[in-house]
Every structure is written in structure tokens, then in C-alpha cells.
Structure 1
């Protein structure tokens, strides 16, 4: 892979990459749809198309420029999880102490979240009367670096924690004009207000909630909880019927590791539904696997030095989900990442993990065709839209690509429609 990447860089420097392996007609088609008279001329656009068989770039446009990747960051997280976690989650570390079992969460998000197969905790603590929980192994804060503070009450920005329960979310239901929540212990923390708010809203500093019965719509089904080791212990005690004690005790070196759930369902949910919470917890599990601490920055540093030292451009990678606008990747580095994934993940599994145009995940309603041809991760925020993955052309070949757009004033949906036109052209002419 190092040799391939060096060849990639050398080729970019000494040749005209936009014409390699393309006929004049093919090159003109792409130039017309991506050129000065196209929608893409009014904002920053980077595009690269890479032949996985010949290991050569067949077309590129500004592939050396840095873009905010948004949720395409999850492709980096996917690689890290597959390479380091392999097939199972890191669930918790434990140490017996008489009738007490001391535990430290390792980042597994499965417990009572979605419909994931549940870790068999009972086999770990069934013979112990008391569970002592510590979060002293957590180094990174609950929020990622560069996350927007006012996302704190949206479900896509749930806090990170060592041993999450319910995905660190409060479930909200509208019953008449009332807001009812689960876990029900938080019902007593809800007050009504006369403010013209349409949803149940959480206080920034506490798990206190308010809503206006006259304007309440109940469309936001989940609200992030303010996490803490104490809250984890209280929720776990309710769930297990055992005595839980929260004590912030450093984790010794002689703990045992419990790997409690299969990894693939988590990877699939992260990729298909762009689940930010799972992405963040995956990096924490990577960190636990490597260092026995929950440290996003250290995990990223290790993965970059070990697996991504040969990228064409050093990325600025700061979180697992792409919520941060501090992430910066170039399209040509994204394509090399796709190539790496293509080499280590069987193609049928990779296609199952990547949203499929017109079929699955976040691409279910876009890139529709009689024969699916796009298998890719999208990422969007205000003023930016990216897509990176695999495109299958009518000739039967599969190419890696990265298409990154930023600084546009129109809606992301309008840019996505133009991206669709380009990718359909790629499918048809190659």
C-alpha cells in the first residue's frame, strides 16, 4: 500500500491526471459537467476517480485541497474499528474484590440501545452482590473537539461515556398534549413553560426539561442526557437489580476484559444511518483496546501513524463522527482510504456496510437506478456536501471516488442533485 500511494503521488506530480485512461470524449464529458459553466464553478469542489485495478487516477479536480468531510469521517472510523477491534466490541474491564465486582466501561454502546444483541452481563456479575463502577479511565470529555455547543439537545449529538445505557438518550412521547419520557425516572424533572417552544427541551447544565403544552409537537423523539458516572450507576442498578456504587478509582493493570457483542451490526448502523454516537464510541473502544483508556486523540494519533502514514496528504482528524468542523481531508486521501478498505474488507461485506444508492441507509432515496451503482458514505452540514466510496460502471468495473463540496450558499440537496448527475455520467461513460 505504501508503494501504491507513492506511485499515486508521483503520478500526480509528473503527468496530467485528468486525462489518464480516458478517451477524449470521456474527458470532455467530465470536464463539461464539472467545469466553468457547471454548478460546481460557484463554490469549492474537489473530485477524484481512482481505478482500483490499475491503481491509477483516471480523473481529478482539486483533489489536493482540504475539505471539511462531515460524516464521511466515519470511513476513517470504520477502518480503525475493522483493523483494531476485528469482530467484537470492547465492553468493560473488571476485577473481583470479595463480594464486589469492580468495573470500568470500555465504550461499548450496545446496552439497551437500538435493537443490538445485548452483552451477556449476567455471566460477568451474577456471583457478585455489589458492582462498583468507575469512569477514571475516561480521558476525553463527553463532547468532541469542535462540536457545536447548541447541538446538545439534538439526538445526533449524544454525549460519549464509558458504559452507555439507552444510547445516553431520553425517549420522548406525546400523549395528548403531554410529554412522557423513558426512563420514567426523569418524568419528575419535567416542568411546563409558557415559552413558545415546540419540543421538550433540556437545560444545558442539568437533566431538567421543559415544554409548552400549547405548542408541543413531539417530533423530536430523543433528547441527549447529561451523562455522569453517578447517573450510569443509578440507571444500571434499576436495570440489573444489583447494588451499584460509583467510585472514581484508577484502573489497575490486572483487569480482565469482557468483549460482549458482535461488531458488525454496530459498524452497519454507523455507516447506513450515519449514527454519530456509535462512531464516537467505536473510537473509544479502539482506544481501550490499544491503551486501556478512553482517549479519542490518542487513538486517532496511533491509527494515523500506523495505518495512514502514507496518505497523500496528512489529514486533520479529530473525532469519530465528523460532527467537528475541525476535521480536514483531501479528496485524494479519501480515495486512498477507500482503496485500503477495499483491500481489507471483503467486497460483499463492504457493499453491505456502505449505503447503497436507491436501496439502503442515507442513500435510499437518492442515486436511484435499476442496477445499484453507488456504494458510498455521504456527509453534509450547512454549506458542505461530500460523498466518498465506490462506483460501479456499465462496463462492470469498480472505481473508488471522493467528491467534496464546500462554501456553497444553496441547500445541500441542490448540490447533491448535481453530484448525482456527475456520478451517473461516470457510470455511463466508463
Structure 2
């Protein structure tokens, strides 16, 4: 009995040791992230987590809250997988005679990027008149804490219940001048003597300005100032149907239209860090839950129902991470990522995550003969984070969160130093 007990104890000790860093390994990480390192000049939080043993191997400032920027999309990914399942929530509708009444559910795919054809046009084909209502939309066009002067950048498109063209104006440089789509806005393109290099939108209207002497045409998309009246005009032109706006309440008895498979949207959101898709996904989550489009309410529900066991309660306010009010701790980021790791099949999870040197937002970073970083980035002025998986030389996969804030230099410098740390971990584990 004593020999058997001793054998069990030795086995458990060996198992525990397997999940721990050696003293030398621990000291290397302490030095790389410590008081004399590059990271001593600003606040850095780091967690390295063994997914097999479910133990933290190393942590530094893991309890401190950081602005997560686009790593917030991991939370949106979680909510989408849990609530939406395998398809988008496109709209709700009723029919009477030759009229169909529709309420958007947040689906962002109608004539946006290379997504498959929206089912909307097929649905309305038998009807002469389409009546659109946005009375189910509770969230404003911009998220809480978004920076106001981002309004003319494509990463800050407005949120709506039923977007078309991604709520963006497409811009091409033709014979030195901007040519725009939808073409109805071509007459709203004006010249200016201001020293601007791109086509820029007026803050209060869909009037656009460019300087003929400086126009570069590098910005290919500009957010539109949306309104339900503009939407029905665009939808009428797009479909050849008569669209009208009437803010009617969604009746209790109605039908639902499910759209395209959701995985391509999740993949685009994660690899390209598409803010618009992230925000609209969270609206679809809200619609599926409450038949209302309310980002704040959806977030509250997800936090209380599915994420109430995180080490630290997140301050989570939008889907994309554009808000400066989001605050997450590194250890909560790792805890969330572990949930995703257990929920999503490996083949799909790796397809969703940007891969160092291969795809997405880290295509030009973390390069190696064999990819070893699979992670979501988040970058905002003076903030840069990376959360995901690292595959080491031994073949093991660990989860990590690496968060930085309040640094006074370029994000590229932070990425370069982070890469040194991640290479060291890859080599020693």
C-alpha cells in the first residue's frame, strides 16, 4: 500500500512538474519582461497558460485592466458562436397582398465585400412594395467611446439595422479624379483648396471634397452618413422595387429570414479585423435574443449568462474594440480564449485566427518556417495587444495574452520586442 501510494505521489509530482517552468525558464521570462527590459518603459501585462494542465505558467500584471482594442473581437466571436450558431439573422418580415414589411436584424452582408448574394432580393421579388422600419433599432449609429474624428475612415462605418454596401462609399481614382459608387453621390463630390490628399466627407452631410492637386486615391472606402430615408433610396435603386420608410413596431406574429452561413463573416472579421462586421454581429446577437437591436443589452446578457466566471469582470461596451472604454485584464482574455479553444474545432479555430507570416493582421510579423503564432491583434493609439496561441518547438500549444499600454513610441517597435519574447518561448518550451 505504501509503495502504491508513493508511486501515485511521484506520478502527481511529475505531472505537476510537467506543467511548470523550470527556474531558468522562469528567470528568462522575468528578465525579458522585467525592470531592465524594453517593457519597463510602459505598462505591460502578460499571461502564459498551459491548456493541457489548465495552469498558468507565467504572469505579470495579469490582474490590471488594459484597453484591448481589436482583441475585443474575441468576445464578439464568442457571443456569435454561442447565440447565432451557424447562420446570420438577416431580417424579420410580414406580408399582405403585394406588400412586404421588413425589419432588419443587423445582417451586414448585402453587397458588402465578396460575401455570397444576400437572400433579401430573392425574398422581396414577388412583391411590388417594400416597407422598411428601423423601429427595432435601439443602439445609436456610433458606439459608446468611439473617437469622433474617425468618422471619415472606413474602419468606423455606422451601425444600422439593415446595411447596404457596408454603409460605405466606394472610391476609385480615374483620370486623376475620384469616381464613386453608388453613382448617385458623384454629384456630391466637390473640389477644395484645403491641403487634403484623399476624398473626405463633410461631418454633417454626404458631401465629399478632394483637392485636384493632391488627390492620391489611397482610401478606397468612406463611411456614409446614414439615415432610413437614404437607405430606402439606395435599396430602391439596387432592387428596382418601390421601397418606403415607415417606423412601425415589429408585430408579435412575423416571419424570420435567416441568411448566409456565419463562418465566412467570422473569418473576415477576425483575419482583417473588420470593425463593421463585428458591430453588426453583435446587433444580430441582440436580435436573436430579444428581437431588438441593442448592443448594450446583448453584452450584459452574455456577461451574466456565459462569462460570469471570468477572473475579472470585463468592461465591455462594443463589438469591435473601437471604444476607449473597453477594459479587460490579460487573465480574463486567456480565460475567454480557453472557452473558445474548447468550443470551436481546431480546424475552424486556426482558420479564424490570424497566423504569423501567413494571414490576417500578422501576415508580415512573427514569421517562421513553421508558423507558431495564431492570435488576434489589437492596436490603438498607445495600445497594442496580442491574444491567442503559441506553438512551441516541442509541438505543444499554449494560450497567451500580451497587452501593452501607455507607450510613447510606434506600435511597430512594441511588436518587434514582443516577437523577441515569443520566439524565446517557442524555443525553450
What is the TM-score of this pair, normalised by structure 1? 0.94
Question: Are the counterparts in 1 of residues 19 and 50 from structure 2 also a CA contact under 8 Å?
Answer: no
Q: Report the CA distance between 1:173 and its aligned residue.
A: 1.2
Output the aligned Cα RMSD.
1.0
Question: Partner residue of 1:324?
Answer: 323
Give the Cα separation in 1 of the matches to 2:414 and 2:259.
42
Correspondence for 2:5: none
Q: Deviations over 1:285-343 (max 9, x none)?
A: 00000001110000000000111000000000000000001000000000000100001
Q: 2:62, 2:120 → 1: CA distance?
A: 48
1:344 alignment counterpart: 343
In the TM superposition, 1:208-219 aligns within 5 A as 208-219=207-218
- Paired with 1:291 and 1:312, the residues of 2 have a C-alpha distance of 28
Distance in 2 (CA, whole Å) between partners of 1:22 and 1:196 is 56
Supply the distance in 2 between the matched residues of 1:169 and 1:127 (Cα, whole angstroms). 28
Q: Which residue of 2 aligns with 1:108?
A: 107
- In structure 1, what is the equivalent of residue 174 of structure 2? 175
For 1:147-185, what per-residue CA distance to the aligned partner results, in whole angstroms no more than 9, with x for missing partners?
Answer: 000000000000111111110000111122221100000
The match for 2:188 is 189
Residue aligning to 1:245: 244
Aligned to 1:301: 300
Hey, what's the Cα distance between the residues in 2 that align with 1:159 and 1:218?
22
CA distance in 2, matches of 1:319, 1:359: 28
SS at match of 2:261: coil
* Alignment-derived partner of residue 362 in structure 1: 361
2:142 aligns with 143
After superposition, residues 249-328 of structure 1 pair within 5 angstroms as 249-328=248-327
**Residues 107, 162 of structure 2: 8 Å contact kept:** yes
Separation (CA, whole Å) in 2 of partners of 1:331 and 1:272:
21
Distance 1:275 1:123 in 2: 27
Q: Distance in 2 between matches of 1:213 and 1:412?
A: 33
Conserved? CA contact 1:48–1:403, under 8 Å: yes
Q: Distance in 2 between matches of 1:98 and 1:139?
A: 30
Matches of 1:196 and 1:417, distance apart in 2: 34
State the secondary structure of the residue aligned to 1:29.
helix
Structure 1, unmatched stretches of 5+, are: 1-18
Q: Contact 2:388–2:399 (CA<8 Å) still a contact in 1?
A: yes
2:88 match: secondary structure? coil
Count, aligned residues? 412
Structure 2 Cα separation of the partners of residues 376 and 92 of structure 1? 32
Q: Alignment partner of 2:101: what SS?
A: strand
In the alignment, does 2:197 pair up with 1:198?
A: yes
Q: For the Cα contact (< 8 Å) 1:68–1:327, is it kept in 2?
A: yes
1:70–1:381 CA contact under 8 A, matched in 2: yes
Asked if the contact 1:101/1:125 (under 8 Å) is kept, the reply is yes
Q: For residues 179 and 241 of structure 2, what CA distance do their matches in structure 1 show? A: 27
Output the CA distance in 1 between the equivalents of 2:129 and 2:60: 61
Structure-2 separation of matches of 1:144 and 1:59: 35
Q: Name the CA distance, whole Å, in 1 between partners of 2:69 and 2:237.
A: 37
Aligned to 2:132, the other structure's residue is in SS state strand
Shift of 1:426: 1.0
Partner of 1:13: none
Q: Name 2:15's counterpart in structure 1.
A: none
In structure 2, how many angstroms separate the alpha carbons of the residues matched to 1:386 and 1:196? 34
- Cα distance, 1:205 vs. partner? 0.9
Determine the C-alpha separation between the residues in 1 that align with 2:31 and 2:167. Answer: 48
Structure 2 CA distance, aligned partners of 1:421 and 1:307?
35
- Paired with 1:369 and 1:191, the residues of 2 have a C-alpha distance of 48
CA displacement 1:2-37 (0-9 Å, x = unmatched): xxxxxxxxxxxxxxxxx9701011111111111111
> Distance in 2 between the 1:131 and 1:340 partners?
42
What is the SS of the residue equivalent to 1:27? helix
TM-superposition CA deviations, 1:340-384 (whole Å, max 9, x none): 000100011101000001100001000001111111000011111
* Secondary structure, counterpart of 2:79 in structure 1: helix
TM-score with structure 2 setting the length: 0.95
Tell whether the 8 Å contact from 1:20 to 1:59 is kept in structure 2 after alignment. Answer: no
Deviates more, 1:125-134 or 1:306-315: 125-134
Which of 229-238 and 64-73 deviates more?
Answer: 229-238
State whether structure 2 residue 30 is matched by structure 1 residue 31.
yes
For residue 81 of structure 2, what is the aligned residue in structure 1? Answer: 82
How far off its partner does 1:121 sit? 2.3
Q: Name the CA distance, whole Å, in 2 between partners of 1:238 and 1:367.
A: 46
- Which residue number in structure 1 is paired with residue 60 of structure 2? 61
Deviation per residue, 1:103-151 (Å, 9 max, x gap): 0010011000000012222442222110000111110000000000000
Q: Secondary structure at the match of 2:109?
A: coil
Instruction: Tell me if the contact between 1:46 and 1:405 (Cα under 8 Å) persists in the aligned partners.
Output: yes
Deviates more, 1:192-201 or 1:363-372: 192-201
